[in-house]
Amino acid sequence: MSKLVAPHGGKGLVCALLHGSELAAEKDKAAGLKKIQVSARAKGDLIMMGIGGFSPLSGFMTKADWKGVCEKMQMADGTFWPVPITLDISKADADGITVGQEIALERNGEILATMKVTEKFEMTEADKRFESEKVFKGKGADSADDKFWTVAMEDHPGVKMVMAQKEVNIAGPVRVMSQGEYPVEYKGVYLTPAEVRAMFEERGWANVAALQLRNPMHRSHEYLAKIAIEVCDGVLIHSLIGNLKPGDIPADVRVKAIDTLCEHHFVKDNVIQAGYPLDMRYAGPREGLLHATFRQNYGVNNMLIGRDHAGVGDFYGLFEAQEIFDTIPKTGDAGKDLQCRPMKIDWTFYCTKCDGMASLRTCPHDKASRVILSGTKLRKALSEGASIPDHFGREEVLVILRKYYEGLTEKVEVKMQGAASGSSM
């Protein structure tokens, strides 16, 4: 019997991905179905439902699920879920679909899945604002009532994505036929929950932590992972290989940088690098909860949560993503409640007087002695050709990143927020 934490939802890994003759038959059927074009975000969601990463979800959410998730982080049946997983389509497409109909979901000429539509519900501007405020509004300065909507429509990619959604959501179970480009382009890094669990089992791991990454690993990331290695059986370095906002570093570069760091600065038996196929939602604390939820499906029972986890701009408090774990709903049913717990780590940095990595809990020295580390700060320096402070990153990694930035013909301005600059320390 496995010692790993059970998948979320109490139903084991719920995988909608088809194989063999069943896949071939579904492809034949899909060719004759009405085709709906889906977003990059929906593609990632479909793949996660296919491989069991979004267990217990087997399809896109109903209106009752959407409303429950927005309001209280619970689906209609009481199962914990922190971020809506919905599929938006145009009113014109919705008018041509009846409840009970099967459709094909397509992206860039590839049919990804079929779906049986069980419900259609309108998403008005008021509904989109409701979702944005419930899911993306935090406790930071940019989330103040008199600022949020003005700033968010300019600078919050998650809010902009929600407000740009089409007029109707459709719900229903899916049958997934493709994992997209990930198995080929990220071979050996793109791993399913079942594959990751098997690797944990083979190593005898039961107490596992995950480090979420959307940036290359700097010294703080490395430090967080090594703290977890000291107290857990091992660490899953789990990076997003779906789409990010303009100005972020693409997945193939990040994967190469992480590989190099793991090769030179980690005991290989204690760490596994993997990638997952979602687009970043930039939902701050709610996304931290989503990270913990689907990591539970990968067999992870500890989620590393540091400063400004999954944040953007100054929309969130520095440690709001830690605090939210103390407020989530509980039913008392282990299957429905989140079992992956946070590992809350204070602000970390390199201290010249300590002569090593430290945190606010361990370092007694003043701010002038601290090298403040952040992915945003690193990206800004690299994009502007500025020098990188000593002890910010490992030289092997910086070589890879400098080469990437030197090859760019167009550069996106990287905006600094208080959390990244260290001004709010």
Q: Is there a single domain that holds both residue 296 and residue 417? A: yes
Give yes or no: residues 33 and 108 share one domain: yes
Q: What is the predicted pLDDT for the residue at 37?
A: 97
Same domain, 339 and 370: yes
Q: What is the CATH number of the domain that holds 200?
A: 3.40.50.620
Q: Which of 41, 175, 197, 214 is catalytic?
A: 214
Cis status, amide bond into 56, omega within 30 of 0 = yes
Q: Is residue 6 part of a domain?
A: no
Query: Are 243 and 271 in the same domain?
Result: yes
- Are 173 and 318 in a shared domain? no
Please name the residues in contact with 193: beta carbons below 8 A apart, sequence gap of 6 or more: 7, 13, 51, 52, 53, 55, 297, 298, 299
Are both 120 and 196 inside the same structural domain? Answer: no
Are 149 and 264 part of one and the same domain? no
Say what the pLDDT of residue 70 is. Answer: 98
Q: Is 207 a catalytic residue?
A: no
Whether residue 10 is contained in a domain is answered as: no
Q: Is residue 1 part of a domain?
A: no
Residue where a domain stops, chosen among 153, 180, 207: 180
Query: Is 361 tagged catalytic?
Result: no
CA 265 from chain centre, in angstroms, equals 25
In the prediction, which pLDDT does 407 show? 87
Task: Give me the residues paired with residue 113 across strands.
Answer: 105, 176
Q: What is the CATH number of the domain that holds 47?
A: 3.10.400.10
* Domain assignment of residue 56, given as a range: 20-180
Q: Are residues 90 and 222 in the same domain?
A: no
DSSP letters along 301-346, please? -EEEE-TTTT--TT-S-TTHHHHGGGT----S-TTTS---EEEE--
Determine, yes or no, domain membership for 407.
yes
pLDDT for 422: 55
Q: Residue 146's pLDDT is what?
A: 95
Domain boundary among 180, 203, 222: 180
Is residue 115, in this structure, part of any structural domain at all?
yes
Q: Do 134 and 71 form a contact (C-beta atoms < 8 A)?
A: yes
Cα(72)–Cα(132) distance, integer angstroms: 14
Contact 373, 218 (CB under 8 A): yes
330 inside domain: yes
**CA 101 to mean position of chain CA atoms:** 31
User: What single letter denotes the amino acid at residue 383?
Assistant: S
Dihedral sign for Cα atoms in the order 280, 377, 396, 365: negative
Question: Are residues 168 and 315 both part of a single domain?
Answer: no
Do 173 and 257 lie in one domain? The reply is: no
How high is the pLDDT of residue 214? 85
Do 136 and 212 lie in a common domain?
A: no
- Given 145, 160, 180, which residue is the final one in a domain? 180
The span from the CA of 320 to the CA of 342, in Å, is 12
Same domain for 226 and 318 = yes
414: CB partners within 8 A, 6+ apart: 247, 376, 379, 380, 383, 384
**Which is the catalytic residue, given 169, 175, 197, 215?**
215
pLDDT of residue 386: 84
Does a structural domain hold residue 7?
no
List, run by run, the mean pLDDT of 10-residue segments along the chain (425 residues). Answer: 96 98 98 97 97 98 98 98 98 97 97 98 98 98 97 96 98 98 95 98 98 88 95 96 81 92 95 95 95 98 93 93 97 98 94 95 95 82 85 91 86 57 54
The structural domain count of the chain equals: 2
